[in-house]
Chains A and B, each alone.
Chain A
């Protein structure tokens, strides 16, 4: 809540690697997790965010400030989200989706999930396994069985020529 003098309330957030960040309360409460803490009166001092590192938190705060500066216009918010995520690499996206989940920010969670899904689209099985760090623990027989069971899904997906 902004003070009546017009000075916005500022919160201090602490990442799990002990970096401190100042952020306007009005932007920070996009996170339901932070909003609940504020409403419970825990916001007096420093708000510790045990599941988010400093690098990711800095990025999330950039997003919070950016999106809350846009008036209620879904189109503009969407294009801001697209632009914000456009230069993020895969590791960053994975960190962001974890942070968005922990902070309970459904709009960021949705946008990052959609972005990761977009990267996966039309990629070969081998590509996705490498990028996602997934170890194939199927036996050849099991893999053949799953492939057979889901035969209808493999039309239109690129063949896996480098695995």
Chain B
């Protein structure tokens, strides 16, 4: 029974990774950019929750949409200000990567200036113990799993059924041809950033629900792990990002329970190294030839 409990805890943790990993994966799928500033969107989401709830004293149902909308907006602004010109002029991928790092440092430091570097306490939902038969879990774990599954189902419908979703798929497959078929790829790219950042905001809410503490550099390790999840699942693949997130969460939880709490990060990155040497395209990644 203990084993099952650890698996469920792992899924709860993995839900956060999965939601953040989606943003990495979608953006990479569309513009082949590893958006290293994506992890910091979680931080923006966390601080928005904090400001709305703790500073302004507004209820949760205001804070959640505010956080999601602000993150989507920040994602779009980052794309517009930092990346768009590089994309339009077909800059080398390495320039985009360095720019992404710059954006990440900028975000972290501006939040440090505004809020200080000390961690802030935040509480989203009051924590409760849930009992299902002999199985015990924290309410936050249950919320994480339910919310992440719902978000992902909605995302699947959006991407596979809606016209903007189909335009996203087309742009990711061949943006040149998509443009010539009348698809406004600039709009598609902006939408992808907004959608990925909104998902990260939901990840931020779940994160704050699980670990009631925020600080300006909270996005570093979380973002990195979510990125590992995206690569593990096959970067560019939406179901892959979810799967990668859950696997990482469960691996961490089991390591903590049966091996050592200090070794969790080593195990996470060990899994990545193993994966890359066995199947570099990831679990659900398509092995696409690079276009010349």
Do the two chains bind?
A: no
